[in-house]
Structure formats: structure tokens, C-alpha cells
Amino acid sequence: MSLRTGLAGLTGPQRFLLAGSFLIPLGSYAVLPFMSVLLHERLGMGLGTVGIVLATASLVQFSGGVVGGAVADRIGLRHTMVLALVIRTAGFAAFLPGLTHTAAAVAALFLVSCGAALYLPANKAYLVHSADASQRPLLLSTSGSALNAGIALGPLAAAPFVLDSSAGLFAAVTALFAAVTAGHALLPAESPAAAAGPPAAEPGATAPKTTVPVARRLGDRLLGPGALPFGITVLSLYVFMFFQHYLALYAVPRTSTAYYSLVLALYALLLVVAQPLVSDRVARLPYGHVLRLGFAAMATGMAALALGGHLAILVGSLLICCAETTLFLKNDLEALARSTRSPAVVFGRQRLAAGIGAFLSGTAGGGGYEMAERSGHTGLFWAAVALQCVALPPLLIATLRRMRSAHCARAARHPAATAATGRTGGNNSADTGV
């Protein structure tokens, strides 16, 4: 399917959601990147406390995706999106009193984070719920492009107003979210079967009476077909967030603020343009090929950053952008294809995986960068990340394969329990390897 043909075939609700995928991050990132300024400089909060507040809010936003998926399964995709946007609108409105009251600002930040946790799994699930498998790559990649465009433009649009006209900025963002919420309320409700997970048992069917041990049920859940895309998403975000968190500290002293801004602009442009263009090809490639290409690009990009010159920083950043374009999309598509759960639950789990990866990166990165800086060879930090991009993917895959094999061997010794869970004892290499 060509890009033009695919875009021409979008439904009205899909077009609206793609527009919302731009407007929502545009409004959010007009405010959120300046939270440290608001909390520290305007409200006098200590930097250590600011870091804890922002890290906790990020963790809520990512890990809460699991709750968002469960809520969407219970009350429906459209209702969940509207509820989430009502919460986010209330959060941005609460920033108005938060300009002078610390507690109100912190509460507003957590309302916005909770709303995002609820919204994103339902949004992606609604976007693809009426689409066939061939349309999903284009829809998800175009949504990602719109989101990244909003993220890139939001801070630029807000920068002239955030310090001198903060109240007006927060009021404008609140009005934008109120309008987007009203638009979501007018979307048609998805059909009950459209976003459902596995089919229910036929009437009169009797489930086996075998009791399955808790550890066995947990193993089936953690080591099932979705284990690999979940684990790869954790790993992808883990290595990628080193780049997100520490490139500015590394690049600006070696180049300039203007050059760093140019690199970010080119990165955003490539990401926005390339994602829809390569989505169909990424979807057709085997998962193993995408993993090898994606992590190779990530490793090469990190190694280029270690050289530290103007060209090396530009080339390294663009290689990492290519890795982001392929890996993140393929992980979502693979998680959808392997799961029998509803899309909202799948996307919620993927958000959790991303949150775990980002948290691990934040935990390890600060100390690692500080050690490299003290040594006088900061490029070693990027070299170490490049080595992890090479070594960790095969290690993760091999570990999952061994754990899956051991779990299946235990299952084979208890065939009655296997029947009760509806799983076989064989080792499916498609689940655990590439």
C-alpha cells in the first residue's frame, strides 16, 4: 500500500485522531518542558525535590498505561479517551493557581500524567480497531509522526510566553484541551467486538477443573508470545534514553547551542517524514531483521557520538533517529500480532515496558556520565552505550529462550495443567527467538 493511497483511505475518525496526535503533544509540550523552571525558579522548590517530582510523574505516565488498557477494556475506548482528556484538561487548568501555590502545581502535573496514562493505550487502540493488519503500520507510524511534530513545535511556540505570560499560556492550553475533548466526545463508539480480546467460550462449554499453580499462570503470562516485544521495548528505551537525557550536556560544550538546536531540528524532521514512508517496509520485514538493523544503527550512532566532533554528533544523532523509526514501530506491531488480548491492553503493556526502560536508563545514566566526565574522556560514555547496543539484544533473546524452554519443560511434566491453560508444552521459536 502506497503512502498516498493509505492516507486517502483514512476514515473521518482516524483523520481526527491523527490531528489530535499533533494538537495534544503541541499543547502538552508547550508546558511540560518548562516544569523545572516553574517549580524551581518561580515556586522555590529545591532541585532534588524537583527531580523526584518529575521522575515520579514520568513513571506514573508510563506505567499507568497498564491501568489505561484495563480501563479501556472495561468502559470502552471512546469513553476512556474522553475521561482521560477531561482529567488532562483539569490538570492544565489547575496550573493557573499552581503559578503561586506549589501544591496546586504538583497536583496539576500528576493530573496531566494520569490523563496521559489513560489516554494513550485507548487512543492507539481506537485508531487501529477498525483497520486490517495491512493498514496498522501506516496508522501507527503517521500517529507517531504527528506526535513527534507536536513535541518539536510545542516548546518553540511557547518559549516567548512561558515566563512573561504564563497565565495566558496555561489558559490557552486548557482551552485547546477542552476543544479536543469535545471533539473526542463526538466520535462514534467502537463496536463491542472491535476492541475485544480473545473470544469467549461457547455457551455450554465446560472449563477443565484442573487447578493451575499461581507460579505456572504467572510464567505463562510473562513468557508467552508477547515476552519478546515487551523485553525488546524495555531494552530499546533503555539505550535510547541515554541519548535523550545526555546529548545536550555532551554536544553543547563541543559545538554550540545553535548547532545543537539544528541537530534536534533535523532529527525531528527526519523522524516526522521517515516514519510513514518506511512503515510498510518495516511491517513486512521479519522481526529479527529489524532488530539487527535497528540495534546496529543505534550502536553505530552511539559510537559516532563518542568521537565528539560536529559531523560525528550530527551523523550519530541521525543514525539513532533511524533506529527509533524502525525499532519502536516494529515492537508495537509485533506485540499486537502476537497477543490475543485487546489492542488497548497490548499498548498499555508496551507503555509499561517503555517506562521500565526509561527508568533503568535514568538510574544508570547519571552515575555513568559523571564517571566518564571525571575521567576526562566523556566519549567513553557513548562507547559504553554502543557496546550495550551490541551485547544486550542477543543476551536478552537467549535469556528469554532459556526461560521459555525451562517453563515449557515444567509444563510438559504437568499435562493436565497445560490443558487447563489452553497452552501447549512445545517451545515456539517464534515466541522467544528471532
Tens of pLDDT, residue by residue over 331-360, are: 999 998 888 888 888 888 998 898 888 888
CA-nearest of 192, 299, 193 to 243 is 299
Q: Are residues 177 and 308 in the same domain?
A: no
Q: Are residues 68 and 186 in the same domain?
A: yes
Q: Residue 380 pLDDT more than 90?
A: yes
Q: Residue 434 pLDDT more than 50?
A: no
Q: Are residues 78 and 164 in the same domain?
A: yes
Q: Are residues 221 and 74 in the same domain?
A: no
Give the integer Cα–Cα distance in Å for 151 and 172: 17
pLDDT, tens digit (0-9, with 9 covering 90-100), for 285-310: 999 999 999 999 999 999 999 998 99
Q: Are residues 155 and 246 in the same domain?
A: no
pLDDT at 61: 85
Q: Are residues 127 and 266 in the same domain?
A: no
Phi, psi of 283 (to 5 degrees): -65, -35
Give the integer Cα–Cα distance in Å for 318 and 365: 21
**Grid-cell match 518529575, residue found:** 54
Q: Which three cell numbers stand for residue 317?
A: 544523532
Give the CATH number, domain containing residue 129: 1.20.1250.20
Q: Quickly count: other Cβ atoms within 10 Å of residue 199's Cβ.
A: 8
The pLDDT confidence band at residue 415, using thresholds 50, 70 and 90, is low
Instruction: Provide the whole-model pTM.
Output: 0.76
pLDDT at 13: 87
Do 77 and 345 form a contact (C-beta atoms < 8 A)? no
Cβ burial of 133 (10 Å; 0-12, 13-18, 19+) is exposed
pLDDT at 310: 93
- Among 173, 190, 207, the domain boundary falls at 190
Do 55 and 362 form a contact (C-beta atoms < 8 A)? yes
Q: Residue 395 pLDDT more than 70?
A: yes
The pLDDT confidence band at residue 92, using thresholds 50, 70 and 90, is very high
CA-nearest of 240, 219, 159 to 417 is 219
pLDDT at 5: 61
Q: Which residues of 43-56 are buried (b: 16+ CB within 10 A; e: fewer)?
A: bebeeeebeebbee
Mean pLDDT of 181-186: 94
Q: Are residues 238 and 182 in the same domain?
A: no
Do 99 and 166 form a contact (C-beta atoms < 8 A)? yes
The pLDDT confidence band at residue 162, using thresholds 50, 70 and 90, is low
- Among 141, 157, 190, the domain boundary falls at 190
- Assess if residue 32 is contained within a domain: yes
Angle at 245 between CA 242 and CA 248, to 5 degrees: 115
Q: Are residues 314 and 409 in the same domain?
A: yes
Distances (CA, A) of 380 to 198, 267, 383: 48, 23, 5
pLDDT at 181: 95
Q: Are residues 74 and 136 in the same domain?
A: yes
Q: Are residues 175 and 220 in the same domain?
A: no
CA-nearest of 122, 114, 118, 116 to 68 is 118
- Mean residue pLDDT of the chain comes to 82
Greatest mean pLDDT among 12-21, 24-33, 121-130, 304-313 lies in 304-313
The pLDDT confidence band at residue 432, using thresholds 50, 70 and 90, is very low
Q: Residue 199 pLDDT more than 50?
A: no
Give the CATH number, domain containing residue 306: 1.20.1250
- Assess if residue 400 is contained within a domain: yes
pLDDT at 334: 93
Give me the half-sphere count of Cα atoms (radius 13 Å) on the Cβ side of residue 224: 17
- Assess if residue 51 is contained within a domain: yes
Q: Residue 431 pLDDT more than 50?
A: no
Which residue range is the domain that position 326 belongs to?
Answer: 215-434
The pLDDT confidence band at residue 430, using thresholds 50, 70 and 90, is very low
- Assess if residue 39 is contained within a domain: yes
CA-nearest of 18, 14, 21, 115 to 61 is 115
- Assess if residue 89 is contained within a domain: yes
Do 345 and 286 form a contact (C-beta atoms < 8 A)? no
Mean pLDDT of 100-109: 91
Q: Are residues 304 and 181 in the same domain?
A: no
Phi, psi of 196 (to 5 degrees): -75, 160
The pLDDT confidence band at residue 73, using thresholds 50, 70 and 90, is confident
The pLDDT confidence band at residue 373, using thresholds 50, 70 and 90, is confident
Greatest mean pLDDT among 59-63, 160-164, 387-391 lies in 387-391
Q: Residue 206 pLDDT more than 80?
A: no
pLDDT, tens digit (0-9, with 9 covering 90-100), for 242-268: 888 888 888 888 988 888 878 888 888
- Assess if residue 294 is contained within a domain: yes
Give the integer Cα–Cα distance in Å for 405 and 141: 34
Give the integer Cα–Cα distance in Å for 231 and 404: 13
Do 61 and 116 form a contact (C-beta atoms < 8 A)? yes
Count: domains in the chain: 2
Q: Are residues 270 and 347 in the same domain?
A: yes
- Assess if residue 70 is contained within a domain: yes
- Assess if residue 3 is contained within a domain: no
Q: Where are the alpha helices (DSSP H) in 129-226?
A: 136-158, 166-185, 214-222
Distances (CA, A) of 265 to 153, 257, 260: 10, 12, 9
